[in-house]
Amino acid sequence: MQGSNLPDELLLRLKDHIYCRDSQIRQLGLLLGSSPHLPKNIVCHGVEATGKSATIKALLPILQKHHAIVNSKECITTRHLLERTVFAVRDARRNGGDETTNSDIDGRCENLAAFVAQLQILLNGKERFILVFDGIDRQREPAPTLLPALARLGEFVSSPPPPSIVFHIPSLTAILITTLPPTSQLHHSSIPHIHFPPYTRDESLLILSHSSFPLSSLSASAKTSSGVSPPPYTYPDTDAQWLWQRYTAHVWDSLAQSAARDIISFRTLCETLWQPFIQPIIDGLYGVRQAQELSKLLVRNRGLLQSEAALVPNVISSQPPPPTDKSSASHKNPTAGGDTTTTLLPSIPSHLLISAYLASYTHTRHDITLFSRSSLSKRRKKGGGTALARGRSGGSNARRKPPRRLLPPQPFPLERLLAIFHAITDEEVRGGTAEVLTQFATLVALRLVGPAGAGAQDVLDPGTKWRCKVGEEFVRGVCRGVGVVWDEYVIE
């Protein structure tokens, strides 16, 4: 701990909350310690989830420094950021017991000069104040001069009117937390830079071993010979922690090493797979502490650790819903019964998306043949199948035409979509016209269907044409989810 201005007991207490950041803590303690000459700017940079914000937020209260932290990602414009910064400094002064300058602050910052004037009123003649801009490079609409101006807050800045007045903020230290390396405006030898590297494998496992993890479900229950289930046996925390540490190591080696972006993704992945991993222990099939039992458990769950399903975020379940009525069950494709990979949407949006795909990839001259009620009833009596197999033997020109599904989606009017929708749905599925149009607007918001062209047309114009923006495999999954037979409406 040599070279730090913090007492050893404070550093040890900080290490109990912030893991694997000893070097960065020592550097910040040296820069922000009891020295009377503190730097005017400090740049902390590193990729996401590397402990930058957590380290600074935990260190500043221990240093007993007056400070304010501004989350720049929550600010849209530069004025929004400057005004929020002024109010944050004012609130920090008020919490520190300083009520002398609050009446002179209105918080309005039209430009950087007004911002500096407000800070000068709050901080001039006071003790050292630390202002932290968290995620300053992630602001949505920053001004090009924002970073250089923030880096020079501790210097002399002119503020009109009158131009002869010069404001000075010598008691301010600005800490800029960025994700990317500092830009050329901040890359000077006079500005200290502290790098927060990504966590290594050992560091990630150490952090997860000290953090809280779900243990309430780690209990075993088994039925006796008489068929009576005894009370579930709950393993002690030491056994659960022993299993958790080895489990996280295997998850890192199997999936997280190449797929998890940061420590947060790694922890989320471990928590997602934890319950399926310990299910054999809960069922009483395996123990915990024995290495042989752990090997058997890993062999049993090798498919879980090899599958990448947990890496894909899903809002809804990937299991197909049960049939709701006899009509939907009668229209299911019997050849797709073994495939459980479906894309679930509500009934009306699913049929609308199928109709949009059919309208984009089916020529208008085939609409009467494919979507008329009489044609559908005849083909279903004959056993289904595509209606236009006869067109393939026409001539050499027909053979050279590529399949329609390999071509770009063709635009279609909304009236044609609604006509196809009424042709492929039953009466109980349709609902009112207003509900159908509302669900179609939802598909447009999800970007599953979009207007054709470069967006010059008004979406409220009845003459606007649309395109389906999803592929065949996606629509096939939707068909399996709602029981629509794919082969009845597609021309091969």
| Domains of the chain from N-terminus onward | 8-195 (3.40.50.300), 201-222+233-311 (no CATH), 333-488 (no CATH)
Q: Which of 229-243, 268-282, 317-331, 359-373 has the lowest mean pLDDT?
A: 317-331
pLDDT digits (tens, 9 = 90+) for 373-402: 665 555 555 555 544 444 444 444 545 667
The answer, yes or no, to whether residue 233 has pLDDT greater than 90, is: no
Q: What digits encode the pLDDT tens for the residues 412-456?
A: 999 899 888 988 887 666 666 667 888 888 898 888 998 887 554
Residue 460: per-residue pLDDT: 64
Instruction: Name every residue whose Cβ is closer than 8 Å to that of residue 455 and which is 6 or more positions away in sequence.
Output: none
> Quick check: 256 pLDDT over 60?
yes
pLDDT of the residue at 376: 55
pLDDT over 50 (residue 340): no
Torsion angles phi and psi, residue 132, rounded to 5: -110, 125
Q: How confident is the model at residue 142 (pLDDT cuts 50, 70, 90)?
A: confident
Higher pLDDT, 424 or 308: 424
Q: Which residue has the higher pLDDT, 341 or 288?
A: 288
Tokens of 109: 């910052």
Residue 343 banded pLDDT, cuts 50, 70, 90:
low
Lowest mean pLDDT among 78-82, 169-173, 336-340, 354-358: 336-340
Rounded Cα gap, residues 335 and 386, in angstroms = 16
For position 399, what pLDDT does the model report? 58
pLDDT of residue 235: 63
State what percent of residues in the chain have pLDDT above 70: 68
pLDDT class of 252 with cuts at 50, 70, 90: very high
Average of pLDDT values for 36-40?
A: 80
* pLDDT tens for each residue of 71-116: 999 998 999 999 999 999 988 988 877 665 555 677 788 888 888 8
- Give how far Cα 470 sits from Cα of 307, 313, 422, Å: 25, 19, 21
Q: In angstroms, what CA-CA distances link 242 with 246, 305, 379?
A: 7, 19, 63
Q: To which residue do tokens 């009620």 refer?
A: 373
Is the pLDDT higher at 373 or at 50? Answer: 50
More confident residue, 212 or 142: 142
| Alpha carbons 468 and 405: distance in angstroms, whole number | 12
CA distance 420 to 436: 13
Lowest mean pLDDT among 103-112, 162-171, 209-218, 404-413: 162-171
Q: 173 has which bridge partners?
A: 130
pLDDT above 90 covers what percent of the chain? Answer: 19
Q: Which residue has the higher pLDDT, 333 or 7?
A: 7
**How far apart (Å, rounded) are the C-alpha atoms in residues 230 and 241?**
25
User: Is pLDDT above 50 for 338?
Assistant: no
